[in-house]
Amino acid sequence: MIDALLEGLLLVLQWKAFAFMLLGIGVGFWVGLLPGLGGATTLALMLPFIYAMTPVEGFAFLLGMHSVVATTGDITSVLFGIPGEGTTAATILDGHAMAKKGEAGRALGAVLASSLVGALVGAAALALAIPVVRPLVLTFGSPELFMIAIVGIAFIASLSAQGGRGMLRGFLAGGVGLMVATVGQDPQAGIARYTFDSLYLWNGLDLVPVLIGIFAIPEIVDLIVRGTSIAGDLPRSRLNQGAIEGVKDTFRHFWLTIRCSLIGTFIGIMPGLGGAVAQWLAYGHAAQSARTAEERKGFGRGDVRGVLGPGAANNSKEGGSLIPTVAFGVPGSSSMAILLGGFFLLGLVPGPDMLTTHLAVTFSMVWTIVLANVITVIACFVLLNHLARVTAVRGHFLVPVILVLVFIGSYTTNNHYGDILLMLSFGAVGYLMVAGGWPRAPFVLGLVLGKIVENNLYISVARYDAAWLTRPVVLVLMALAVAAILYPLIQARRSGARSEKHA
Amino acid sequence: MKTRLALVLAIAALAAGLPFGAARSASFEGKTITIVVGFKAGGGYDRVARILARHIPKYLPGNPNVIVQNMPGGNSITAANHVYAVAKPDGLTIGTFNRNLVLAQLTKVRAVRFDQTKFAWVGSAASESTVLAIRSDLPYRTFDDLRKSGKTLIIGATGPGANTYDFPLLLKEFLGVDLKIVSGYSSSADIMLAIERKEVDARAGSYTSLRPFIDRKLVHPVIRARAIETGIEQLPVDEDLAPTPRAKAIMALRSAPEVIGRPYVMPPGTPDDIVNAMREAFDKAIKDPQLMAEAKKGKMELEFMPGGEVLKIVKVVLSQPKDVVDEFSKYVKFGE
């Protein structure tokens, strides 16, 4: 095992593999920054280039590219409020709020440092999970996946707004999200739902245009209306200094970062949940760490913990999602599904062999994730203060550029004008939600989880009838969901009682 | 007769402002040919298109560029409508889409704006055979064992319209095996995992996608549909076991598109010389040793079926009597 670990490192450090990894990092860096163009699509486009490579070179290239996408995607999310990737949308809530307070540097520092921690935890998990991965993954069947999704929605809905009324709004938004996810052909009877005879809607709503619309459009409107720069008219000196502060934040809340990394890894390991879920659960967990109602109000308005959570989780999930891909030949995310194609091209058969005969190759993947992230984060820190200065540019100059990115980013999803319409419609929805004080996070999570909830519930009932309700893991998760709903209520009552006493 | 055809073509060519006259032989020098794929990048259709795009140019006169454009939507009806009605018949657009589109036309899906018999068919790049594979730790070796056991077998499926669902549905309906189909898995890979954790007992799917798991001895195939691939010739074929001619016709309809596993067409009205040049290029490219080596690495098995033969199958499917079609639509809905 230790031998294989070292051999894996030496494999990556061979000059050719290393050069390919750097090339991959370069590509991934830009793909992450640009909204819309996603990691999965890029992987698909890059696959033909690996025919002539050895397995280690091929994976150094593909994984090098893939593992930096989430990191640089966070940068776009923080600076502009546009999700650089579908998997980095949660970073916007607090990251962009910080940028607006003139703390872009600090937010970027925090997101990069937590990304690095997340990537390292994910890679370590990949290495450590190798002996236990089979039983772990096989414990979670359809009923358990359904319950995980329910816990996720309960978490976010109860935490993203304050008080009984806020919680009600949270659940309503989550419910609407679930409903919007039903657009398209349903998987049980093949009936077209809410498609209004439009072919574009047949395959359901794509996440990227919806996310871009719902998060970026309100920010753009806000920026135009204010007529200032993103960071307002705050003194510029602060922009350049925050990065180190952000790194310190990561260590100030080190255990939170680690816990969110573990959440990301776990979601990554579960095939079928998909990468977009991890960030939101981590965000929910971060918001839950607020001890008082006062503290909780800060979330969504620029609390650094809201940046650390998703930042860590969307990187750690990569290591996690490699686990089922390598061990079962069953991909944990859409990117991994394409990576699986890469396995075949390179002449490797994923499955138990990867954990025995090809263990060194598996470890070389772990090392690629580690090295690629370290290199990217260092590169980003060099550029960081320049990047943060973007928030001091006047809105009038910035808005046209952002709009181009927003339109192109949406359009690349299907190359269809429907993408643009979808983005604009959800832009309007997003704007109204912000204006009316409705939380967007539960809506987005409902949308992300809709298919998972529906399909796994259907499978659970069809396969086990009512007996799925009595499975032990299901019961534990159910208790967790109830606790997620009750905890903030109890907490609010307690702090309410306390403040009365003070008065 | 021949001169009249040439005349018609010449007029058609003039009318459409084509770069190629009917008299000249086709040359693609300096041109860019686009393969429109009806699915997103990364899937099976896309991978086959991309490997072809790399190898076709050297077999076309004038060595043109060949690029791939993804046009997903409506289970690739969008792309087929585009190639049928929007793309110019100038030889610079090729379309590849869901093999089941012919069934969409047969069952009169409303969004369909194309007539499959009017496409200029280049051909099919592969046939995709469907098999039913069951968990190897179960006591059934063959389909007959299964039938005689009288036990219920739980089948994992994605949903109606996919071969993971339709194939076992017809087996259950007509061949007297007790199957319980549980659908809603998001991909065939997800079903494989459900098999690993024994949530389901078996799944149907293309032989290509099942092969790694068959090689690993997790599952073994017990019955197949008509389309054939090396390695599964010995398996019983569903149609041969059909109890009635009607059942056989319905099974045959379901599996017909699988013989045309990777359909490639050009817009209706594309001049014959261009279509022929393209067929020849496909044929040669698919036999190219370099392509074959790459395809083998990517676990793709390509085999060219020229457009004329494809069109014959398409016509047979679309000329089924109404009562057969009606019964067929009861079981099979158009989907992926």
How far is residue B282's CA from residue B52's CA, in Å, rounded to a whole number?
8
- B5 pLDDT band (50/70/90 cuts)? low
pLDDT, tens only, B212-253? 889 889 999 999 999 888 888 899 999 999 999 999 999 999
> Where is mean pLDDT largest: A53-67, A130-144, B121-135, B182-196?
B121-135
Q: Which residues pair with residue B221 across a beta bridge?
A: B133
CB contact B44 to A (< 8 Å): no
Q: Which residues pair with residue B120 across a beta bridge?
A: B266
pLDDT, tens only, A18-27? 999 999 999 9
SS3 A192: strand
pLDDT, tens only, A218-274? 989 988 888 888 877 666 555 556 788 888 999 999 999 999 999 999 888 887 777
Q: Suggest the residue from A140, A146, A188 to mutate for an interface test with chain B (most B CBs closer than 10 A).
A: A188
pLDDT at A499: 57
pLDDT at B242: 93
How far is residue B98's CA from residue A16's CA, in Å, rounded to a whole number?
40
- B21 pLDDT band (50/70/90 cuts)? very low
Closest CA relative to residue B221, chosen from B146, B271, B292: B146
CB contact B208 to A (< 8 Å): no
**Torsion angles phi and psi, residue A34, rounded to 5:** -80, 125
pLDDT at B1: 44
Q: Is the pLDDT of residue A398 over 70?
A: yes
**Torsion angles phi and psi, residue A35, rounded to 5:** -70, 150
Q: CB-side exposure of B297: number of CA atoms within 13 Å? A: 20
Q: What angle do CA A337, A411, A398 make, to 5 degrees?
A: 115
Residues near B102 by beta carbon (within 8 Å), at least 6 away in sequence: B116, B256, B257, B260, B314, B317, B318
Query: Residues in chain B, how many?
Result: 336
How far is residue B82's CA from residue B76's CA, in Å, rounded to a whole number?
10
* Interchain proximity B42–A341, CB inside 8 Å: yes
Report chain B residues whose CB lies below 8 A from the CB of A462.
180, 182-184
Q: Is the pLDDT of residue B14 over 80?
A: no
CB contact B113 to A (< 8 Å): no
- Nearest-Cα residue of chain B relative to residue A38: B41
* Interchain proximity A455–B70, CB inside 8 Å: no
Query: Mean pLDDT throughout B156-174?
Result: 91
Q: CB neighbours (10 Å) of residue A163?
A: 13
Q: Compute, in degrees rounded to 10, the torsion defined by CA atoms A484, A489, A491, A494.
A: -160
HEC per residue, A203-226: CCCCHHHHHHHHHHHHHHHHHHHH
* Interchain proximity B73–A346, CB inside 8 Å: no
pLDDT at A401: 87
Q: Are B259 and B316 in contact (CB under 8 A)?
A: no
pLDDT at B231: 84
Q: Where are the alpha helices (DSSP H) in chain B?
A: 2-16, 44-55, 77-81, 101-106, 143-149, 163-174, 188-196, 207-215, 245-259, 272-287, 289-297, 307-318, 322-331
Question: Which CATH class for the B130-243 domain?
Answer: alpha beta
Domain ranges within chain A, ordered by starting residue? 2-493
Q: Suggest the residue from B110, B113, B183 to mutate for an interface test with chain A (most A CBs closer than 10 A).
A: B183
CATH 3.40.190.10 residue window(s) in chain B:
130-243
CATH 3.40.190.150 residue window(s) in chain B:
28-127+260-331
CB contact B5 to A (< 8 Å): no
pLDDT, tens only, A11-51? 888 999 999 999 999 999 988 888 877 777 888 888 878 87
- Nearest-Cα residue of chain B relative to residue A454: B184
Q: Is the pLDDT of residue A55 over 50?
A: yes
The share of chain B scoring above pLDDT 70, in percent, equals: 92
SS3 A83: coil
Query: Mean pLDDT throughout B127-138?
Result: 93
pLDDT at A498: 60
List the beta strands (DSSP E) in A60-186.
184-185
What is the distance in angstroms between the Cα of B184 and the nearest Cα belonging to chain A? 5
Report chain A residues whose CB lies below 8 A from the CB of B69.
415
pLDDT at B17: 45
Closest CA relative to residue B311, chosen from B133, B128, B115: B115
pLDDT, tens only, A80-139? 888 888 888 899 999 999 988 888 889 999 999 999 999 999 888 888 877 787 788 888
pLDDT at A311: 92
pLDDT, tens only, B275-315? 999 999 999 999 999 999 888 877 788 999 999 999 999 99
pLDDT, tens only, A147-165? 998 988 888 888 776 677 8
For residue A391, give the amino acid letter: T
Query: Mean pLDDT throughout B140-169?
Result: 91
- B126 pLDDT band (50/70/90 cuts)? very high
The answer to whether domain B28-127+260-331 has CATH 3.50.50.60 is no
How many CB contacts within 8 angstroms connect chain A with chain B? 148
What is the distance in angstroms between the Cα of B186 and the nearest Cα belonging to chain A? 7
